[in-house]
Amino acid sequence: MENVLNHKSYKKNFVVVLVIVVTLIVSMIAGGFLIGKYFSNEKNVPVLSKEQLNENVSEDRKNAITSVVSKVSDAIVGINVEEVREVRNPFYDDPFFRQFFGDIGPQKQVVRGLGSGFIISPDGYILTNDHVAGNATKISVTLTTGETVQAELIGSDQVSDVALLKIDKKNLPFLEFANSDNVLIGEWAIAFGNPFGLFEINDKPTVTVGVVSATNMSVTAEGRRVYKDMIQTDASINSGNSGGPLVDIEGKVIGMNTIIYTGGSFSSGSIGVGFAISINRVVNIMNELKAKGSIDRNFNVGFNIQPVDERIAQYYELEKAEGVIVTQILRGGLADRAGLKPEDIIIGVNGKPVRNQQDLVYVINDSRVGDVLILKILRDGDEREIEMTLEGQ
């Protein structure tokens, strides 16, 4: 009896095991079939070639900056100039040397320089700085095609530091202008140019990227130059970048790279403080240069000034040591005829305050023949206005 029961139990267990084994085999076959179907489905897992993988990586590297570079680069030019300057050997001022060599005057010397520029029309007009090409006797322009052509100086303005060139070419790539009055502090700023002559190596401009750090900046300059309405950027600007464009993220020009602050007389590289002339100011100058070749600033206001210091402010019982005082009037000159007098204290010009000497000098230097200066003055403690029309000499 026990053997019969054991035999039945054995058969029952054998059937259960057999069912389990068959179930596992069927599951494995079905699972393998489904997995194979899944991984063989091209819609779910694309099979990419090496070339396709490289193409996808390249696409991922593209961004707004690289798009601007592609759009702008072909309109950038390298500029090489020759300028004739008179130089005098300092030894010839010594009586001992003059005794042997005689009175030798200044000698002419050819000085070479370089800079950047950008094409603004398909027929070959190019913008750059006056300090790059304004006094040049020979101007060569290198295009991104590798071609070098001679350029004509259409006109330049020392005060604004803007020059307009022209090359004899057609169908050229050119840049569009933004409205620099709408520039935002913190927006992208991309500088193109020819620093240290690197453009000549591969006929391509260099590119540096930063942001707009400040707008409407005034920068003190030597001589008669007036650097106002400047855009400050931390995009690296170096020697040779002068005259190149500063563009926004749309590839439109917001300024012309012009000067850098180096932090000291023994440094010549960028430390992240560069300045570009706002393109609205550049365009105003450019239009005059294109029409007349120059800007007529040949006038003499006919008066001298000095800053109002604490001593002068106390003497004239002024609230603050601000403004400038007239020290001398040229008899019969513009100021004399307008009614300005010695000891008049100028505190405003054309609706803007005059806090120091630079405020007034900047406005005068930036004026043209025919402009009207409205001077706000203090005379004997009373405020009054004097109108002066700038007449050519």
86 belongs to a structural domain: yes
174 belongs to a structural domain: no
Which H/E stretch holds residue 334?
A: helix 334-338
Question: Same domain, yes or no, for 329 and 378?
Answer: yes
- What domain range includes position 191? 180-278
202 belongs to a structural domain: yes
Give dist(CA 122, CA 106) in Å, integer: 43
261 belongs to a structural domain: yes
Q: Is 341:333 a contact under the CB 8 Å cutoff?
A: no
Question: Same domain, yes or no, for 315 and 381?
Answer: yes
Q: What is the CATH number of the domain that holds 110?
A: 2.40.10.10
Q: What is the CATH number of the domain that holds 354?
A: 2.30.42.10
Give dist(CA 130, CA 226) in Å, integer: 12
Per-residue confidence (pLDDT) for residue 203, from 0 to 100: 79
262 vs 84, residue with greater confidence: 84
Per-residue confidence (pLDDT) for residue 303, from 0 to 100: 95
Confidence at 378, pLDDT banded by 50, 70, 90: very high
CA angle 179, 351, 334 (to 5 degrees): 110
Q: How many CB atoms lie within 10 A of CB 109?
A: 10
374 belongs to a structural domain: yes
Question: Same domain, yes or no, for 125 and 78?
Answer: yes
Confidence at 264, pLDDT banded by 50, 70, 90: low
Summarize pLDDT for 122-155 with one digit per residue, the tens: 999 999 999 999 999 999 999 999 999 999 999 9
Give dist(CA 19, CA 7) in Å, integer: 19
Q: Is 209:68 a contact under the CB 8 Å cutoff?
A: no
Summarize pLDDT for 37-92 with one digit per residue, the tens: 544 455 554 555 656 545 555 566 889 999 999 999 999 999 999 988 766 666 56
Mean pLDDT across the chain: 84
Tokens 């590119």 found at: 207
Task: Just list the catalytic residues.
Answer: 131, 161, 242
Q: Which one of 137, 166, 195 terminates a domain?
A: 166
Per-residue confidence (pLDDT) for residue 197, from 0 to 100: 78
Per-residue confidence (pLDDT) for residue 20, from 0 to 100: 59
- Domain count of the fold of the chain: 4
Question: Same domain, yes or no, for 75 and 159?
Answer: yes
Question: Same domain, yes or no, for 228 and 314?
Answer: no
Question: Same domain, yes or no, for 144 and 204?
Answer: no
Question: Same domain, yes or no, for 184 and 263?
Answer: yes
197 belongs to a structural domain: yes
Q: Which one of 47, 63, 85 terminates a domain?
A: 47
Is residue 117's pLDDT more than 50?
yes
Per-residue confidence (pLDDT) for residue 266, from 0 to 100: 42
364 belongs to a structural domain: yes
66 belongs to a structural domain: no
Say whether 195 sits in a helix, a strand or coil.
helix
Give dist(CA 150, CA 137) in Å, integer: 11
